[in-house]
């Protein structure tokens, strides 16, 4: 069994998701890439990116809600 608490695991997962979102956003605005400077010449790819971004945001919100519950339950 691991010595890492559920809250610590959630915090680490949240950090990984946030890092991934930063990498996605950096790629989106990078010059010379399909999403460079906020646009895409491929509407299907843009739609997939938008869907992925929305899904990631929803997952992040769920994780934050769980963390909030864990913090509330752990409060003295």
Q: Rounded distance, CA 42 to CA 30, Å? A: 16
Does the pLDDT value for residue 2 go beyond 50? yes
Query: Which one is predicted more confidently, 35 or 6?
Result: 6
Q: C-alpha distances in angstroms, 53 versus 18, 64, 69? A: 12, 16, 24
Interval 12-61: pLDDT, tens: 888 888 888 888 778 777 666 555 445 556 788 778 878 888 888 888 88
The pLDDT value given to residue 37: 47
Work out the average pLDDT over 55-69.
84
Q: Which tokens belong to 62?
A: 């769920």
pTM of model > 0.85: no
């Amino acid at each position: 069994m691991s010595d890492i608490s559920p809250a610590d695991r959630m915090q680490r997962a949240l950090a990984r998701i946030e890092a991934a979102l930063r990498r996605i956003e950096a790629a989106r605005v990078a010059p010379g890439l399909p999403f460079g400077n906020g646009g895409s010449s491929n509407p299907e790819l843009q739609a997939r990116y938008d869907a992925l971004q929305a899904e990631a945001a929803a997952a992040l919100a769920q994780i934050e809600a769980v963390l909030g519950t864990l913090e509330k339950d752990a409060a003295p």
